[in-house]
Amino acid sequence: MRDVEIVLDDRPGALAELGEALGRAGVGIEGGGVFVTGGRGIAHFLLTDVAAARIALHAAGIEVVAEREVVVVAVRDDVPGQLGEIARRMAAAGVNIEAQYSDHDNRKILVVSDRERGQAVARAWATGAAPTDAEARSAGSGP
């Protein structure tokens, strides 16, 4: 699965057109969201068939800005603060989180500046490994 960043017009029906184009192409959305900022819609969607999505969106006149691998992090629903903890670990590793949303399995989907380092942090998180010394030192520091 990959994150696809899409620009939409800020007008009624723009999201409907995106959804219809993907539906006609048989492309399902596994997670994501859309926000309007600066007079345009910015969407990030987690897709499995990016090639078909690109073709369908292009045919509908919808701009795909970027396509990127993601870091997937499982969190526990019953433990508050987990997003903050994983985000702090990413920051301590020098990884910027550029977009974050959830998938249908309630996992956190992270679009990050350095996927390799982000994956390493996610692997440590998944195994329950303690934060590194750098992560521990940065805990409690600013964002």
Report DSSP letters for 74-140, one per residue.
Answer: ---TTSTTHHHHHHHHHHHTT--EEEEEEBTTS-EEEEES-HHHHHHHHHHHHHTPPPPHHHHHHTT
Superfamily of domain 71-138: ACT domain (3.30.70.260)
* pLDDT score of 131 more than 70: no
Say which residues have a Cβ less than 8 Å from residue 29's Cβ, sequence separation at least 6: 19, 22, 45, 46, 47
Strand order of the β-sheet with 40-47 is: 29-37, 40-47, 2-9, 63-69
CATH code for 2-67?
A: 3.30.2130.10
**For the residues 78-100, what does the mean pLDDT come to?**
95
Q: Where are the domains of the chain?
A: 2-67, 71-138
Residue 133's pLDDT is 52
Question: Do 2-67 and 71-138 share a fold?
Answer: no
Using DSSP, state whether 18 is helix, strand or coil.
Answer: helix
pLDDT digits (tens, 9 = 90+) for 3-60: 999 999 999 999 999 999 999 999 999 999 999 999 999 999 999 899 999 999 999 9
What's the Cα-to-Cα distance from 47 to each of 2, 78, 128, 141, rounded to whole Å? Answer: 6, 27, 28, 35
* pLDDT score of 109 more than 80: yes
pLDDT digits (tens, 9 = 90+) for 47-82: 989 999 999 999 999 999 999 999 999 998 889 999
